[in-house]
């Protein structure tokens, strides 16, 4: 039988699937000027991002070396350095997620400093099906008892359903409800994304 830790690792592995959608093509000649401006601005933005990334690649390693030299010379940690009075480059204590399967490799490299330099983090959440299962929730509450807040971090919100999202576009009645909710500031959708077709 697998350990609870093994079960957590297996459950943490992500599953993704791709689906195709039929996107209608609408024709509005009166929007061509705005569309052309958006496309041109997007190209300029893309070019600017590429130029910025190229400049960063040319300088960031050298600047990081200088930041480390300053930290060691001062005998204290500095999260940022100013460069030629033109820019400030900052680092954060943020790293890409590390695959738990590499734990032994990391331990081999850092040795007895492993526990000082690394910590295992686990986040467990209930599936929507489990949250809808009153019997299961009752068993969890019974097992945990009065100290539920001590063991579980809980946040709650109200989220519009897919039915609401779709019907606000396909049904005039639901569209009117959506308008009232939006006017009252109760429902605010994310800004639509725009991308080149």
117, 126, 115, 122: which is closest to 100 by C-alpha? 122
What was the pLDDT predicted at 15? 59
Torsion of CA 55, 60, 63, 65, to 10 degrees: -150
H or E element, residue 60 = helix 32-74
What was the pLDDT predicted at 9? 65
**How would residue 8 be classed by pLDDT, with cut points 50, 70 and 90?**
low
What was the pLDDT predicted at 180? 94
pLDDT tens readout for residues 162-187? 999 999 888 999 999 999 999 999 99
What was the pLDDT predicted at 145? 83
Q: Which residues lie below 8 Å from residue 92, measured CB to CB, with a gap of 6+?
A: 79
Q: Give the mean model confidence (pLDDT) for residues 27-40.
A: 94
What was the pLDDT predicted at 107? 94
- Average pLDDT along the chain: 87
What was the pLDDT predicted at 152? 81
pLDDT tens readout for residues 34-88? 999 999 999 999 999 999 999 998 989 999 999 999 999 999 999 999 999 999 9
What was the pLDDT predicted at 7? 62
Is residue 110 within 8 A of residue 118, CB to CB? The reply is yes
Is residue 71 within 8 A of residue 60, CB to CB? The reply is no
Dihedral angle sign, alpha carbons of residues 35, 40, 44, 47:
positive
Tokens found for residue 97: 């997620």
For the chain, which residues make up each domain, given as ranges? 31-91
**How would residue 22 be classed by pLDDT, with cut points 50, 70 and 90?**
confident
- Overall pTM > 0.75: no
| Position with higher pLDDT, 64 vs 14 | 64
Whether 136 shows a pLDDT value over 80: the answer reads yes
Helix, strand or coil, per DSSP, at residue 90: strand
**How would residue 6 be classed by pLDDT, with cut points 50, 70 and 90?**
low
Helix, strand or coil, per DSSP, at residue 150: helix
């Amino acid at each position: 039988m697998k350990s609870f830790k093994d079960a957590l690792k297996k459950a943490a592995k992500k599953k993704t699937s791709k689906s195709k959608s039929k996107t209608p093509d609408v024709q509005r000649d009166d929007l061509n000027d705005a569309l052309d401006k958006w496309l041109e601005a997007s190209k300029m933005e893309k070019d600017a991002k590429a130029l910025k990334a190229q400049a960063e690649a040319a300088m960031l390693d050298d600047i990081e070396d200088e930041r480390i030299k300053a930290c060691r010379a001062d005998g204290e940690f500095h999260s940022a350095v100013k460069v030629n009075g033109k820019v400030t480059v900052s680092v954060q204590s943020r790293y890409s997620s590390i695959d738990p399967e590499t734990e032994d490799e990391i331990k081999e490299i850092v040795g007895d400093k492993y526990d000082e330099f690394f910590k295992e983090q686990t986040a467990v959440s209930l599936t929507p099906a489990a949250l809808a299962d009153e019997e299961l929730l009752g068993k969890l509450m019974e097992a945990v008892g009065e100290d539920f807040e001590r063991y579980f971090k809980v946040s709650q919100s109200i989220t519009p359903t897919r039915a609401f999202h779709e019907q606000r576009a396909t049904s005039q009645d639901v569209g009117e409800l959506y308008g009232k909710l939006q006017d009252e500031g109760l429902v605010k959708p994310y800004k639509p994304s725009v991308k080149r077709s």
